[in-house]
Structure 1
Amino acid sequence: MTQTRHDIEPGRRRALGLLLAAAAAVAAGCGTTGGPVPDGYYRVERGDTLYSIARKHRRSVRELTRWNSDITSPGQIEVGQLVRVRPPGGSAAASTGTGQAVTDTPRVDSGSSRPPATGIRLQWPADGRVTGGYAPPASKGLRIAVPANGTVRAAAAGRAIHVGNLRGYGMLVIVKHNDDWLTVYGNLDQPLVTEGASVAAGQEVGRMGASASELHFEVRGNGKPVDPMAYLPSRG
Protein backbone atom coordinates (compact mmCIF):
# COMPACT_ATOMS: atom_id res chain seq x y z
CA MET A 1 0.00 0.00 0.00
CA THR A 2 1.42 3.41 -0.95
CA GLN A 3 2.15 5.72 1.97
CA THR A 4 0.89 9.28 1.73
CA ARG A 5 2.74 12.36 2.99
CA HIS A 6 0.28 12.41 5.91
CA ASP A 7 1.31 8.86 6.86
CA ILE A 8 5.03 9.60 6.62
CA GLU A 9 5.17 13.00 8.36
CA PRO A 10 4.80 11.83 12.03
CA GLY A 11 7.58 9.24 11.70
CA ARG A 12 9.71 11.71 9.82
CA ARG A 13 9.33 14.35 12.53
CA ARG A 14 10.08 11.86 15.32
CA ALA A 15 13.18 10.64 13.49
CA LEU A 16 14.51 14.18 13.08
CA GLY A 17 13.73 14.99 16.72
CA LEU A 18 15.75 11.99 17.89
CA LEU A 19 18.58 12.84 15.51
CA LEU A 20 18.73 16.45 16.64
CA ALA A 21 18.77 15.42 20.29
CA ALA A 22 21.60 13.00 19.61
CA ALA A 23 23.56 15.49 17.52
CA ALA A 24 23.17 18.22 20.13
CA ALA A 25 24.32 15.85 22.86
CA VAL A 26 27.36 14.82 20.84
CA ALA A 27 28.15 18.46 20.09
CA ALA A 28 27.99 19.16 23.81
CA GLY A 29 30.39 16.30 24.47
CA CYS A 30 27.94 14.01 26.22
CA GLY A 31 26.81 11.62 23.44
CA THR A 32 23.69 9.45 23.58
CA THR A 33 25.41 6.21 24.42
CA GLY A 34 28.23 7.28 26.71
CA GLY A 35 29.85 10.10 28.64
CA PRO A 36 28.44 12.21 31.46
CA VAL A 37 24.72 12.84 31.63
CA PRO A 38 23.81 16.56 31.70
CA ASP A 39 22.16 17.85 34.85
CA GLY A 40 18.39 17.38 34.68
CA TYR A 41 18.58 14.44 32.24
CA TYR A 42 18.48 10.65 32.51
CA ARG A 43 20.05 8.18 30.08
CA VAL A 44 17.70 5.33 29.12
CA GLU A 45 18.95 1.88 30.10
CA ARG A 46 17.85 -1.56 28.92
CA GLY A 47 14.55 -2.49 30.54
CA ASP A 48 13.50 1.12 31.21
CA THR A 49 10.06 2.37 30.27
CA LEU A 50 8.83 5.94 30.33
CA TYR A 51 6.61 4.96 33.25
CA SER A 52 9.54 3.56 35.26
CA ILE A 53 11.68 6.63 34.51
CA ALA A 54 8.85 8.94 35.57
CA ARG A 55 8.33 6.96 38.79
CA LYS A 56 12.07 6.92 39.56
CA HIS A 57 12.26 10.70 39.29
CA ARG A 58 8.88 11.37 40.92
CA ARG A 59 7.44 12.82 37.75
CA SER A 60 4.41 12.04 35.60
CA VAL A 61 4.58 10.57 32.12
CA ARG A 62 2.74 13.65 30.90
CA GLU A 63 5.49 15.89 32.26
CA LEU A 64 8.21 13.87 30.55
CA THR A 65 6.44 13.91 27.19
CA ARG A 66 5.93 17.66 27.52
CA TRP A 67 9.60 18.33 28.32
CA ASN A 68 10.89 16.03 25.54
CA SER A 69 9.56 17.06 22.14
CA ASP A 70 10.97 13.92 20.49
CA ILE A 71 8.80 11.65 22.68
CA THR A 72 5.24 11.56 21.41
CA SER A 73 4.14 8.27 22.96
CA PRO A 74 5.12 6.34 26.13
CA GLY A 75 6.64 3.49 24.12
CA GLN A 76 8.93 5.73 22.09
CA ILE A 77 12.26 5.61 23.93
CA GLU A 78 15.51 3.88 23.05
CA VAL A 79 18.48 2.60 25.04
CA GLY A 80 21.06 5.38 25.33
CA GLN A 81 18.55 8.17 24.71
CA LEU A 82 18.74 11.25 26.94
CA VAL A 83 15.42 12.09 28.59
CA ARG A 84 14.84 15.41 30.31
CA VAL A 85 13.50 14.68 33.82
CA ARG A 86 13.56 18.23 35.14
CA PRO A 87 11.56 21.11 33.63
CA PRO A 88 13.41 23.48 31.29
CA GLY A 89 14.67 26.54 33.09
CA GLY A 90 14.56 24.76 36.46
CA SER A 91 10.96 25.74 37.20
CA ALA A 92 9.36 23.86 40.06
CA ALA A 93 6.97 21.12 39.02
CA ALA A 94 4.86 18.48 40.68
CA SER A 95 2.18 15.98 39.77
CA THR A 96 -1.30 15.64 41.17
CA GLY A 97 -2.67 12.30 42.18
CA THR A 98 -4.46 12.06 38.83
CA GLY A 99 -1.22 12.34 36.88
CA GLN A 100 -2.05 15.91 35.81
CA ALA A 101 1.19 17.88 35.61
CA VAL A 102 1.38 21.09 37.64
CA THR A 103 4.29 23.29 36.60
CA ASP A 104 5.33 26.91 36.35
CA THR A 105 6.82 26.15 32.95
CA PRO A 106 4.35 26.98 30.15
CA ARG A 107 3.47 24.13 27.82
CA VAL A 108 5.28 24.53 24.52
CA ASP A 109 3.96 22.71 21.48
CA SER A 110 6.65 20.76 19.65
CA GLY A 111 5.62 22.49 16.44
CA SER A 112 6.35 26.01 17.63
CA SER A 113 8.44 27.58 20.33
CA ARG A 114 9.47 30.89 21.78
CA PRO A 115 12.92 31.49 20.25
CA PRO A 116 16.05 31.99 22.36
CA ALA A 117 16.93 35.37 23.83
CA THR A 118 19.79 35.62 21.35
CA GLY A 119 18.92 36.39 17.75
CA ILE A 120 20.41 35.15 14.51
CA ARG A 121 20.67 36.67 11.05
CA LEU A 122 20.43 34.21 8.17
CA GLN A 123 20.83 34.30 4.42
CA TRP A 124 18.81 32.31 1.93
CA PRO A 125 20.16 28.75 1.60
CA ALA A 126 19.27 28.37 -2.08
CA ASP A 127 17.89 30.08 -5.14
CA GLY A 128 14.37 29.13 -6.04
CA ARG A 129 10.71 29.73 -5.24
CA VAL A 130 9.26 28.88 -1.84
CA THR A 131 6.70 26.16 -2.54
CA GLY A 132 5.77 25.32 1.04
CA GLY A 133 5.77 27.46 4.15
CA TYR A 134 6.14 26.94 7.89
CA ALA A 135 2.86 25.47 9.13
CA PRO A 136 3.36 23.24 12.21
CA PRO A 137 2.75 20.50 13.00
CA ALA A 138 2.53 19.40 9.35
CA SER A 139 5.47 21.49 8.14
CA LYS A 140 8.25 22.69 10.42
CA GLY A 141 10.25 24.46 7.75
CA LEU A 142 10.26 25.74 4.19
CA ARG A 143 10.24 23.86 0.90
CA ILE A 144 12.27 25.63 -1.76
CA ALA A 145 12.14 24.56 -5.42
CA VAL A 146 15.80 24.47 -6.44
CA PRO A 147 16.86 24.27 -10.12
CA ALA A 148 18.52 21.09 -11.38
CA ASN A 149 22.04 20.65 -9.99
CA GLY A 150 21.53 23.73 -7.85
CA THR A 151 23.68 24.20 -4.76
CA VAL A 152 22.60 24.70 -1.16
CA ARG A 153 24.46 27.19 1.02
CA ALA A 154 24.90 27.51 4.78
CA ALA A 155 22.52 30.17 6.08
CA ALA A 156 25.13 31.26 8.65
CA ALA A 157 28.57 30.23 9.87
CA GLY A 158 28.80 27.20 12.15
CA ARG A 159 29.79 23.55 12.29
CA ALA A 160 28.29 20.55 10.49
CA ILE A 161 27.10 18.31 13.33
CA HIS A 162 25.38 15.74 11.09
CA VAL A 163 25.88 14.64 7.49
CA GLY A 164 23.98 11.55 6.35
CA ASN A 165 20.70 10.01 5.30
CA LEU A 166 17.56 10.17 7.44
CA ARG A 167 14.29 8.49 6.56
CA GLY A 168 11.86 11.02 5.12
CA TYR A 169 14.57 13.68 4.73
CA GLY A 170 16.92 11.93 2.32
CA MET A 171 20.48 13.22 2.50
CA LEU A 172 20.60 15.68 5.38
CA VAL A 173 23.09 18.25 6.65
CA ILE A 174 22.62 19.93 10.05
CA VAL A 175 24.69 23.02 10.86
CA LYS A 176 24.99 24.18 14.47
CA HIS A 177 25.63 27.92 14.63
CA ASN A 178 25.95 28.39 18.40
CA ASP A 179 24.47 27.01 21.60
CA ASP A 180 21.01 28.30 20.63
CA TRP A 181 20.63 27.95 16.88
CA LEU A 182 20.95 25.34 14.14
CA THR A 183 19.71 24.94 10.59
CA VAL A 184 18.63 21.79 8.74
CA TYR A 185 19.07 21.12 5.00
CA GLY A 186 17.21 18.05 3.74
CA ASN A 187 16.51 16.22 0.49
CA LEU A 188 20.02 16.84 -0.86
CA ASP A 189 21.44 14.74 -3.66
CA GLN A 190 25.02 15.10 -2.44
CA PRO A 191 26.61 16.68 0.66
CA LEU A 192 29.53 19.01 0.07
CA VAL A 193 30.79 19.14 3.68
CA THR A 194 31.94 16.49 6.12
CA GLU A 195 30.60 15.92 9.60
CA GLY A 196 32.47 18.02 12.16
CA ALA A 197 33.75 20.54 9.61
CA SER A 198 33.59 24.28 10.21
CA VAL A 199 31.27 26.00 7.75
CA ALA A 200 31.36 29.62 6.61
CA ALA A 201 28.21 31.64 5.93
CA GLY A 202 27.28 31.13 2.29
CA GLN A 203 29.53 28.08 1.89
CA GLU A 204 28.06 25.32 -0.26
CA VAL A 205 26.94 22.45 1.97
CA GLY A 206 25.08 20.35 -0.57
CA ARG A 207 23.95 19.86 -4.14
CA MET A 208 20.49 19.04 -5.41
CA GLY A 209 19.69 16.38 -8.03
CA ALA A 210 19.94 16.40 -11.80
CA SER A 211 16.25 17.29 -12.04
CA ALA A 212 14.51 20.14 -10.24
CA SER A 213 13.68 19.19 -6.64
CA GLU A 214 12.70 20.73 -3.32
CA LEU A 215 15.08 21.61 -0.51
CA HIS A 216 13.68 21.10 2.98
CA PHE A 217 15.02 23.93 5.18
CA GLU A 218 14.44 24.26 8.93
CA VAL A 219 15.60 26.77 11.54
CA ARG A 220 15.66 25.63 15.16
CA GLY A 221 16.13 27.74 18.27
CA ASN A 222 16.84 25.83 21.48
CA GLY A 223 16.05 22.67 19.49
CA LYS A 224 12.54 23.85 18.59
CA PRO A 225 11.48 24.71 15.04
CA VAL A 226 10.71 28.36 14.33
CA ASP A 227 9.49 30.13 11.20
CA PRO A 228 12.54 30.59 8.93
CA MET A 229 10.91 33.60 7.24
CA ALA A 230 11.32 35.56 10.47
CA TYR A 231 15.12 35.28 10.18
CA LEU A 232 15.64 35.49 6.41
CA PRO A 233 15.95 38.76 4.44
CA SER A 234 13.09 39.77 2.16
CA ARG A 235 13.51 38.90 -1.49
CA GLY A 236 12.65 42.15 -3.20
Structure 2
Amino acid sequence: MTIRLLIIDDDPLVRAGLSLMLGGAHDLEIVGEGSDGSAVPELVARLAPDVVLMDIRMEQVDGLTATEELRRGPGAPEVLVLTTFHADEQVVRALRAGAAGFVLKDTPPAEIVAAIRRVAGGDPVLSPAVTRQLMDRVADQSHERAADPRRRAAIARLETLAEREREVVVAVGRGQSNAEIAGTLYLSVPTVKTHVSRVLAKLGLNNRVQIALLAHDAGLLDEEP
Protein backbone atom coordinates (compact mmCIF):
# COMPACT_ATOMS: atom_id res chain seq x y z
CA MET A 1 0.00 0.00 0.00
CA THR A 2 1.27 3.45 -0.92
CA ILE A 3 1.16 6.00 1.90
CA ARG A 4 0.08 9.46 0.78
CA LEU A 5 2.13 12.09 2.64
CA LEU A 6 1.53 15.83 3.03
CA ILE A 7 4.44 17.96 4.32
CA ILE A 8 3.69 21.19 6.21
CA ASP A 9 6.67 23.39 7.16
CA ASP A 10 7.32 27.09 6.83
CA ASP A 11 10.97 26.61 5.81
CA PRO A 12 11.27 25.88 2.06
CA LEU A 13 14.69 24.31 2.58
CA VAL A 14 13.27 21.90 5.15
CA ARG A 15 10.41 21.00 2.82
CA ALA A 16 12.83 20.42 -0.06
CA GLY A 17 15.11 18.32 2.12
CA LEU A 18 12.25 16.19 3.43
CA SER A 19 10.87 15.68 -0.08
CA LEU A 20 14.28 14.60 -1.30
CA MET A 21 14.94 12.28 1.64
CA LEU A 22 11.49 10.72 1.82
CA GLY A 23 10.71 10.61 -1.89
CA GLY A 24 12.98 7.62 -2.38
CA ALA A 25 10.90 5.34 -0.15
CA HIS A 26 9.07 2.88 -2.38
CA ASP A 27 5.83 3.02 -0.41
CA LEU A 28 5.63 6.80 0.17
CA GLU A 29 4.04 9.27 -2.21
CA ILE A 30 4.48 12.96 -1.35
CA VAL A 31 1.20 14.37 -2.59
CA GLY A 32 1.79 17.99 -1.60
CA GLU A 33 3.48 20.60 0.54
CA GLY A 34 2.32 23.61 2.55
CA SER A 35 4.11 26.50 4.22
CA ASP A 36 1.59 27.28 6.97
CA GLY A 37 -1.08 25.64 9.08
CA SER A 38 -3.71 27.83 7.43
CA ALA A 39 -3.25 25.82 4.22
CA VAL A 40 -3.89 22.45 5.88
CA PRO A 41 -7.72 22.18 5.55
CA GLU A 42 -7.74 22.91 1.82
CA LEU A 43 -4.74 20.70 1.09
CA VAL A 44 -6.15 17.79 3.07
CA ALA A 45 -9.54 18.10 1.38
CA ARG A 46 -7.99 18.24 -2.08
CA LEU A 47 -5.11 15.77 -1.74
CA ALA A 48 -6.53 13.21 0.74
CA PRO A 49 -3.23 12.34 2.48
CA ASP A 50 -2.92 9.39 4.83
CA VAL A 51 -0.36 11.18 7.01
CA VAL A 52 0.46 14.85 7.57
CA LEU A 53 4.03 15.63 8.63
CA MET A 54 3.35 18.83 10.59
CA ASP A 55 5.81 21.46 11.77
CA ILE A 56 4.92 22.97 15.17
CA ARG A 57 6.20 26.53 14.76
CA MET A 58 4.76 28.46 11.84
CA GLU A 59 4.10 32.17 11.47
CA GLN A 60 0.35 32.48 10.80
CA VAL A 61 -1.34 29.28 11.98
CA ASP A 62 0.96 27.02 13.98
CA GLY A 63 1.01 23.25 13.75
CA LEU A 64 -0.71 22.84 17.10
CA THR A 65 -3.78 24.82 16.01
CA ALA A 66 -3.80 23.08 12.63
CA THR A 67 -3.62 19.66 14.31
CA GLU A 68 -6.46 20.47 16.70
CA GLU A 69 -8.71 21.65 13.88
CA LEU A 70 -7.79 18.77 11.59
CA ARG A 71 -8.30 15.99 14.14
CA ARG A 72 -11.76 17.29 15.07
CA GLY A 73 -13.11 16.30 11.68
CA PRO A 74 -14.28 12.82 10.66
CA GLY A 75 -11.89 10.66 8.68
CA ALA A 76 -8.94 12.95 9.43
CA PRO A 77 -5.48 11.79 8.36
CA GLU A 78 -2.91 10.89 10.99
CA VAL A 79 -0.59 13.67 12.13
CA LEU A 80 3.11 13.25 12.84
CA VAL A 81 4.55 16.31 14.52
CA LEU A 82 7.89 17.65 13.32
CA THR A 83 9.76 19.57 15.99
CA THR A 84 13.16 20.77 17.14
CA PHE A 85 12.68 20.25 20.86
CA HIS A 86 11.38 16.92 22.19
CA ALA A 87 10.46 18.30 25.63
CA ASP A 88 8.29 21.10 24.33
CA GLU A 89 4.91 21.77 25.93
CA GLN A 90 3.49 22.32 22.46
CA VAL A 91 4.41 18.75 21.55
CA VAL A 92 2.36 17.49 24.49
CA ARG A 93 -0.54 19.69 23.43
CA ALA A 94 -0.32 18.30 19.91
CA LEU A 95 -0.42 14.76 21.31
CA ARG A 96 -3.46 15.70 23.37
CA ALA A 97 -5.07 17.05 20.21
CA GLY A 98 -4.69 13.69 18.51
CA ALA A 99 -1.25 13.65 16.89
CA ALA A 100 0.05 10.10 16.75
CA GLY A 101 3.57 11.05 17.75
CA PHE A 102 6.49 13.28 16.94
CA VAL A 103 9.90 13.18 15.31
CA LEU A 104 12.80 15.59 15.70
CA LYS A 105 13.97 17.50 12.65
CA ASP A 106 17.42 15.96 12.94
CA THR A 107 16.05 12.41 12.99
CA PRO A 108 17.75 10.18 10.36
CA PRO A 109 15.62 9.81 7.21
CA ALA A 110 15.19 6.04 7.65
CA GLU A 111 13.70 6.61 11.11
CA ILE A 112 11.31 9.27 9.81
CA VAL A 113 10.15 6.85 7.11
CA ALA A 114 9.64 4.14 9.73
CA ALA A 115 7.66 6.58 11.88
CA ILE A 116 5.42 7.52 8.94
CA ARG A 117 4.77 3.86 8.22
CA ARG A 118 3.84 3.16 11.85
CA VAL A 119 1.51 6.15 12.00
CA ALA A 120 -0.16 5.12 8.73
CA GLY A 121 -0.66 1.66 10.23
CA GLY A 122 -2.44 3.08 13.24
CA ASP A 123 0.40 2.78 15.76
CA PRO A 124 1.82 5.63 17.84
CA VAL A 125 5.46 6.40 17.17
CA LEU A 126 6.44 6.90 20.77
CA SER A 127 5.87 4.56 23.65
CA PRO A 128 3.59 5.58 26.52
CA ALA A 129 6.72 5.48 28.70
CA VAL A 130 8.28 8.21 26.55
CA THR A 131 4.99 10.10 26.63
CA ARG A 132 5.01 9.96 30.40
CA GLN A 133 8.60 11.19 30.57
CA LEU A 134 7.70 14.05 28.26
CA MET A 135 4.68 14.90 30.41
CA ASP A 136 6.77 14.88 33.58
CA ARG A 137 9.23 17.36 32.09
CA VAL A 138 6.64 19.96 31.13
CA ALA A 139 3.74 19.35 33.54
CA ASP A 140 3.04 21.42 36.63
CA GLN A 141 4.94 19.76 39.45
CA SER A 142 2.90 21.39 42.21
CA HIS A 143 2.45 19.37 45.38
CA GLU A 144 -1.27 20.14 45.14
CA ARG A 145 -1.73 17.76 42.21
CA ALA A 146 -4.97 16.43 43.68
CA ALA A 147 -6.47 19.90 43.32
CA ASP A 148 -5.28 20.29 39.74
CA PRO A 149 -8.31 20.85 37.42
CA ARG A 150 -6.81 18.65 34.72
CA ARG A 151 -6.39 15.80 37.21
CA ARG A 152 -9.97 16.15 38.45
CA ALA A 153 -11.28 16.25 34.89
CA ALA A 154 -9.30 13.13 33.94
CA ILE A 155 -10.57 11.23 36.97
CA ALA A 156 -14.15 12.21 36.13
CA ARG A 157 -13.78 11.02 32.53
CA LEU A 158 -12.37 7.66 33.61
CA GLU A 159 -15.27 7.10 35.99
CA THR A 160 -17.42 6.39 32.91
CA LEU A 161 -15.41 3.23 32.22
CA ALA A 162 -16.07 -0.29 33.44
CA GLU A 163 -13.53 -1.80 35.81
CA ARG A 164 -11.91 -3.96 33.14
CA GLU A 165 -11.67 -0.99 30.80
CA ARG A 166 -9.88 0.98 33.53
CA GLU A 167 -7.42 -1.87 33.93
CA VAL A 168 -6.74 -1.75 30.21
CA VAL A 169 -6.22 2.03 30.42
CA VAL A 170 -3.58 1.58 33.12
CA ALA A 171 -1.85 -1.13 31.11
CA VAL A 172 -1.80 1.05 27.98
CA GLY A 173 -0.42 3.89 30.09
CA ARG A 174 2.39 1.63 31.30
CA GLY A 175 3.42 0.94 27.72
CA GLN A 176 2.13 -2.62 27.39
CA SER A 177 1.26 -4.04 23.99
CA ASN A 178 -2.04 -5.79 23.37
CA ALA A 179 -0.32 -9.16 23.78
CA GLU A 180 1.23 -8.09 27.09
CA ILE A 181 -2.09 -6.76 28.34
CA ALA A 182 -3.75 -10.03 27.38
CA GLY A 183 -1.19 -11.97 29.41
CA THR A 184 -1.45 -9.69 32.43
CA LEU A 185 -5.26 -9.59 32.54
CA TYR A 186 -5.83 -13.18 31.33
CA LEU A 187 -7.70 -12.07 28.23
CA SER A 188 -7.43 -12.90 24.55
CA VAL A 189 -5.72 -10.37 22.27
CA PRO A 190 -8.99 -9.77 20.30
CA THR A 191 -10.74 -9.03 23.59
CA VAL A 192 -8.04 -6.53 24.53
CA LYS A 193 -8.42 -4.84 21.14
CA THR A 194 -12.17 -4.63 21.75
CA HIS A 195 -11.62 -3.02 25.15
CA VAL A 196 -9.17 -0.50 23.69
CA SER A 197 -11.64 0.38 20.93
CA ARG A 198 -14.43 0.86 23.48
CA VAL A 199 -12.23 3.07 25.63
CA LEU A 200 -11.37 5.25 22.64
CA ALA A 201 -15.04 5.53 21.69
CA LYS A 202 -16.31 6.22 25.21
CA LEU A 203 -13.70 8.88 25.93
CA GLY A 204 -13.69 10.44 22.48
CA LEU A 205 -9.98 9.79 21.96
CA ASN A 206 -8.06 9.12 18.75
CA ASN A 207 -5.22 6.81 19.75
CA ARG A 208 -3.33 4.99 22.51
CA VAL A 209 -1.07 7.97 23.17
CA GLN A 210 -4.10 9.95 24.33
CA ILE A 211 -5.14 7.05 26.57
CA ALA A 212 -1.69 7.11 28.16
CA LEU A 213 -1.85 10.88 28.66
CA LEU A 214 -5.26 10.61 30.32
CA ALA A 215 -4.04 7.83 32.62
CA HIS A 216 -1.07 10.04 33.52
CA ASP A 217 -3.32 13.05 34.20
CA ALA A 218 -5.57 10.99 36.48
CA GLY A 219 -2.62 9.79 38.54
CA LEU A 220 -3.15 6.14 37.62
CA LEU A 221 0.54 5.69 36.80
CA ASP A 222 1.88 7.20 40.02
CA GLU A 223 2.15 3.86 41.78
CA GLU A 224 4.29 0.97 40.61
CA PRO A 225 2.33 -2.06 39.36
Alignment TM class, shorter chain as reference? under 0.3
**Higher helix fraction (1 or 2):** 2
Please, what TM-score do these two structures have when normalized by structure 1? 0.25
